[in-house]
Structure 1
Amino acid sequence: MGVDKKTAIIEAAFQLFEEKGFALTTIDEIAKASGMTKPSFYKYFPGKEDLLLEVIEIFAEELEEKVQRLYRKVDLSKSDRIIELSMIYLEDIFKYHTYLDFFLDPSQHFFENERIQNAVMTVERKVFTWLEDSIADLYGEQMDGFVVDVSFIALSVMFVYTRVSGPNLSFDHNRKLAVYIEYLVGLVVEGLKFKKPEMPLLFETPSWVMNCWPEDVTPVMRSRQLQRVYRRMELTIKNHVSLSESEKKDYLQAIAQIKTESKDSLEQNVIIKALLYYLEQLDELRDECEQLRLIFEPEASSSQN
């Protein structure tokens, strides 16, 4: 019962923050919209800032889940990945009017709340790192130290554009901006090919960017790991001299099924566990199966060690 009421408060806050922004939404309004009294509200949240903190944390979790799902789309091109990443960010920024108000207007009093400030900056750092990884993944050695600068330019364009255009852009308009960002990144990279010797760096590996992934595993890195393991397994099967064509087909279908099952979540469900058990019966695939387990559930694996 208590969980339901807390959820009702959060959902009401989402709606009101989206409509009015954080500053103009009162606790009385949130309580009324969630079907309870103001004293009942305080049973779950000491104040509006505590509620905002939870809203930001939910926003961050949803954002990360969408990005993780994006990087599991193995058929998506690297340039389209930048567009889709920009779309996720743009649509979620506009969805959570609270977050937009907070980040674009740091003069508001709750910016002094260290917990809220840290929560927001964590989101920003992760978004920066996701974009940086995607750009580096697409252009590789051409970046040669400029990837942080290029990422900064791309995100700056999105920030300024969202600030001047307001939170009511259509899906098509957001898509147009996302495509523009990907095209702009390409132009900047092309320009740097010719201007690198004279071009100064804005950022030389700023610590606030590079230290935001304590687990040292970004979505791009995890996606690369998965694809490398899949390719090794498929090549092992195709080149195996002792397997019949029928057996090879069965093993390859098992790998394809794992790819399908892992598109929505990296947690090992019953099907993935069974398929990995089946695949590791072939001695040559045991190491790869263990690597997949580590990639799928790194926290669970590390806790067992």
Structure 2
Amino acid sequence: MKKITSEDIIYAALSLFSEKGYDATSVDEIARESGMVKASFYKYFQSKEALLLGTIVLIEKLLDADIKELYLKHQLPSREKLRQLYLIALGRIYKNKVHLLVYSVPLIGSKEEKIAQAIDRVEHYLSDVMIDFLIDAYGEFIKDYAYDINFVVKSMIVNSLRMSDSELSWTEQQTLAEFILSITDMLAQGMLNPNHQHQIMWSPDTSLYEGSNQFWTKGKQISYALQHMDTVLKQTELNEATRNEYVQILSRLQGELSEQNVEIAHVKALLLFLGQLPELLEDCTKLKAILEA
């Protein structure tokens, strides 16, 4: 008998999430679909939220592999690369309606924040690549409008799948990708028309596009840095007493930063202590700069 893996559980869960929705799917159902009992599920994932996070991380990994492969297809015309990017987005992200699951999760607890951050990474990565391909297909002059086109394209994909009663077949995905590409052509041609002036809605400095080399809102920068510090502490070799001390100080820092009126002096003192650990110094420096900006 084939040993069940965490990916087997993720694919089983995706099937159920797409069919029934995240909230309506129970751990019992996911376990049965995976071919195991409920107790065995918890050997792989601590909760349904942890499974959702694992799902998004897997999608991010598969998306990255697909896009890297697409970048290597130098012989493809730029417009065809854009069409294939739309197919990748349809197949890897939107087909599973994971974006709809995540946007319905309340951003209050640390688990939910990690889920939101994971989907943000996927969405921003896809946006960066799409804008890169738009410029390649329509020229450098489209750059000012590329963010608006990206917004329209994603909206079309989301609404097309939201209106669909069942999962799109491969043929239907091909048809939808062609349709979106034709709309992209019309948008690009219209926006590049020198006889018309167009209002730019989205641009690199809006919070919608908080990519790796673009502006991040303070809240998300802080949240990302704290999450990274927590991960670093878990991975750094420290004796138990020292680790516990740093974990407690990081917990106090998280508490201070979650207060409505942040005591900057307290926060700086905590950062000064945490910064003594070389592995945390970079994040501490970033946090200090964010708070002083």
Does the Cα contact within 8 Å between 1:142 and 1:189 map onto a contact in 2? no
Deviation of 1:208 after TM superposition, in Å, equals: 4.2
* 2:57 aligned counterpart, secondary structure: helix
The 1-side partners of 2:91 and 2:100 are apart by 15
Alignment of 1:148-159 (within 5 A): 148-159=147-158
Alignment of 1:173-184 (within 5 A): 173-184=172-183
The C-alpha deviation readout for 1:223-268, integer Å capped at 9, x for no partner, is xxxxxxxxxxxxxxxxxxxxxxxxxxxxxxxxxxxxxxxxxxxxxx
Does the Cα contact within 8 Å between 2:153 and 2:184 map onto a contact in 1? yes
The 1-side partners of 2:195 and 2:207 are apart by 24
Partner of 1:117: 116
* 1:213 aligned counterpart, secondary structure: coil
How many residue pairs get aligned? The number is: 211
Bigger relative contact order, structure 1 or 2 (CA pairs below 8 A, ≥6 apart):
1
Does the Cα contact within 8 Å between 1:86 and 1:178 map onto a contact in 2? yes
Distance 1:209 1:110, change over 3 A: closer
Does the Cα contact within 8 Å between 2:125 and 2:211 map onto a contact in 1? yes
Aligned residues: CA RMSD: 2.8
TM-score of the superposed pair, with normalisation by structure 1:
0.61
Distance 1:108 1:114, change over 3 A: closer
The 2-side partners of 1:144 and 1:196 are apart by 18
Does the Cα contact within 8 Å between 2:148 and 2:201 map onto a contact in 1? yes
Deviation of 1:166 after TM superposition, in Å, equals: 3.8
Gaps of 5+ in 1: 216-305
The 2-side partners of 1:117 and 1:34 are apart by 26
State which drifts further: 151-160 or 54-63.
151-160
Give the AA of the match of 2:52: L
Partner of 1:192: 191
Structure 2 residue 38 is matched with structure 1 residue 38: yes
| Percent of residue pairs bearing the same amino acid type | 30
Deviation of 1:65 after TM superposition, in Å, equals: 0.8
Deviation of 1:213 after TM superposition, in Å, equals: 3.0
Alignment of 1:202-213 (within 5 A): 202-208=201-207, 211-213=210-212
Partner of 2:146: 147
Deviation of 1:144 after TM superposition, in Å, equals: 4.8
The 1-side partners of 2:9 and 2:87 are apart by 28
State which drifts further: 135-144 or 28-37.
28-37
Partner of 2:64: 64
The 2-side partners of 1:197 and 1:15 are apart by 46
* 2:180 aligned counterpart, secondary structure: helix
Gaps of 5+ in 2: 215-293
Does the Cα contact within 8 Å between 1:125 and 1:208 map onto a contact in 2? no
Deviation of 1:178 after TM superposition, in Å, equals: 0.9
Give the AA of the match of 2:177: A
Partner of 1:170: 169
The 2-side partners of 1:189 and 1:5 are apart by 45
